[in-house]
Amino acid sequence: MAAAHLVAMKQHSVAIIGAGVAGLTAARQLAATQRITLFDKSRGPGGRLANRRRAGYIFDFGAQFFTARDPRFVAEVASLRAAGVVEPWRCRFAEIEDGEVVARRMWGDEHAHFVALERMSALAAHWAEGLDIRYSTLITSLRQDSTCWLLESEEGEIFGPFDFVILALPAAQAAALLPDASPLWARASTAAMLGCYALMLGLNAPIDLSFDAALVRCGVLSWLSVSQSRPGHQGLPSLVALSSNVWAENHMEDPSDQVIQAMREELERFVNQPLQAVHVDLHRWRYANCPASQDITPALDASLRLAICGDWLHHGRVEAAYLTGYDIAFEVMAVFGAG
Ligand SMILES: Cc1cc2nc3c(=O)[nH]c(=O)nc-3n(C[C@H](O)[C@H](O)[C@H](O)COP(=O)(O)OP(=O)(O)OC[C@H]3O[C@@H](n4cnc5c(N)ncnc54)[C@H](O)[C@@H]3O)c2cc1C
């Protein structure tokens, strides 16, 4: 009975657009019983679990670490630790206000701040194992064909038919694909997401700032970390600085060289020394994170067979993205069970 039931359930085909934390999590929950195809515009999985390798430098320029509080994510992180994929970042943490260090503490195993060993995207690569993912495929429209969905890519390729589509995308990117007749569109089109700049500096020698990672409170910056302090980091010495969301929002259209100059000046003021950077890189995150949301509008439209997931439904955190992907998988299964 159980095997026959599984075979019957496997007959549903599900497209998941977005192979970040939320999309990968939804896919992993559903893959045992459904036919899952993921689509991502990037060349690899992870979305904002992002990593860049240039000239011997390795930069984690998206999510810097993550914490685990919900029992479901705590259990997942325990299995990731057992598999040797993540570790607590044991580092000297500081809080900086107006250029002064106002607090210091050690990050350890208690209330751990986790990172993937070597690079954050390694976590996404681990989760992506065994999944059917079409990379470098920007989905530009969804089309309903009788009771099924067809997906169209930027290249004009048509994928489908699919019984169900999950959009695991930042709010604005989900809103651009959702039909405006769906309540999901209303939710996605009104959600606020904030930008952020990541400045990456490759140094010609290791640097000791007296801390490894710092939360910064000033107009321009919000975060600073020394890459070689990250567990398993193998690149040359480097720093990653993140702008504050407010500053990024106010300078979203500025030319890159101006953004680099403003962030670098602020950084050099904090560290109180000119930085000998031999490699400089900047990434503009248009949709970096979001404030906590209290919106309890459903994330699934059973009549249109569409669903949404992603950090913005809850909070701009890796754990939140994981939980929205986890929950939506069960909601989709319930629709299949009912249908
Ligand atoms: C600079 C920065 C620092 C951060 N720091 C932390 C931190 O320290 N701790 C923490 O917990 N969180 C942090 N976050 C937030 C964390 O990274 C996110 O909450 C989480 O990664 C979001 O995952 P997601 O799956 O919801 O979305 P995403 O990771 O954005 O995944 C969406 C995916 O959809 C793809 N995509 C978009 N549009 C399309 C399309 N039309 N067709 C196909 N594919 C598409 C994208 O390529 C992407 O892979 C940070 C984020 C940033 C940017």
Same fold, 1-41+137-192+292-339 and 51-122+194-289: no
pLDDT of 239 higher than 80: yes
pLDDT of 7 higher than 60: no
pLDDT of 9 higher than 60: no
Q: Is the CB of 310 under 6 A from ligand 1?
A: yes
Integer Cα distance of 78 and 73 in angstroms: 8
Q: Is the CB of 260 under 6 A from ligand 1?
A: no
Q: Is the CB of 170 under 6 A from ligand 1?
A: yes
Atom of ligand 1 lying closest to residue 25 CA = 25
Atom of ligand 1 lying closest to residue 176 CA = 41
Confidence at residue 10, expressed as pLDDT on a 0 to 100 scale: 66
Residue of the nearest CA to atom 35 in ligand 1?
18
CB atoms within 10 A of CB 140: 14
Structure tokens at 296: 């309890």
Query: Which CATH class for the 1-41+137-192+292-339 domain?
Result: alpha beta
Atom of ligand 1 lying closest to residue 177 CA = 41
Confidence at residue 338, expressed as pLDDT on a 0 to 100 scale: 61
Confidence of residue 5 (pLDDT cuts 50, 70, 90): low
- pLDDT tens track for 37-71: 999 999 999 999 999 999 999 999 999 999 999 99
pLDDT of 241 higher than 50: yes
Confidence of residue 307 (pLDDT cuts 50, 70, 90): very high
Atom of ligand 1 lying closest to residue 24 CA = 25
- pLDDT mean across residues, the chain: 94
Confidence of residue 298 (pLDDT cuts 50, 70, 90): confident
Residue 97 DSSP SS3: strand
- Summarize the confidence of residues 199-209 as an average pLDDT: 93
Q: Is the CB of 311 under 6 A from ligand 1?
A: yes
Confidence at residue 1, expressed as pLDDT on a 0 to 100 scale: 41
Rounded distance from Cα 170 to ligand 1 centre (Å): 7
- Summarize the confidence of residues 90-107 as an average pLDDT: 93
Confidence at residue 11, expressed as pLDDT on a 0 to 100 scale: 84
- Summarize the confidence of residues 310-331 as an average pLDDT: 96
Could you say which architecture CATH assigns to the domain 51-122+194-289? Answer: Alpha-Beta Complex (3.90)
Map out the domains of the chain as residue ranges: 1-41+137-192+292-339, 51-122+194-289
Atom of ligand 1 lying closest to residue 287 CA = 53
Confidence at residue 147, expressed as pLDDT on a 0 to 100 scale: 84
59 burial (CB, 10 Å; 0-12 / 13-18 / 19+) is buried
Three-state SS string across 173-233, please? HHHHHCCCCCHHHHHHHHCCCEEEEEEEEEECCCCCCCCCEEEEECCCEEEEEEHHHCCCC
pLDDT of 2 higher than 50: no
Confidence at residue 176, expressed as pLDDT on a 0 to 100 scale: 98
Cβ-based neighbours of 334, under 8 Å, separated by 6 or more? none
What's the chain's Rg over C-alpha atoms? 21
Read off the amino acid at residue 34: Q
- pLDDT tens track for 135-165: 999 999 999 988 899 999 999 999 999 999 9
Rounded distance from Cα 46 to ligand 1 centre (Å): 7
Residue of the nearest CA to atom 26 in ligand 1?
310
Distances (CA, A) of 85 to 46, 77, 80, 92, 121: 14, 9, 5, 22, 10
Rounded distance from Cα 173 to ligand 1 centre (Å): 12
Confidence at residue 74, expressed as pLDDT on a 0 to 100 scale: 98
Structure tokens at 8: 């019957």
pLDDT of 8 higher than 70: no
3-state helix, strand, coil in the chain (%, to 5): 30, 30, 40
Q: Is the CB of 168 under 6 A from ligand 1?
A: yes
- pLDDT tens track for 110-134: 899 999 999 999 999 999 999 999 9
Helical segments of the chain, H only: 2-9, 21-30, 71-82, 121-128, 171-177, 183-190, 245-250, 256-271, 318-338
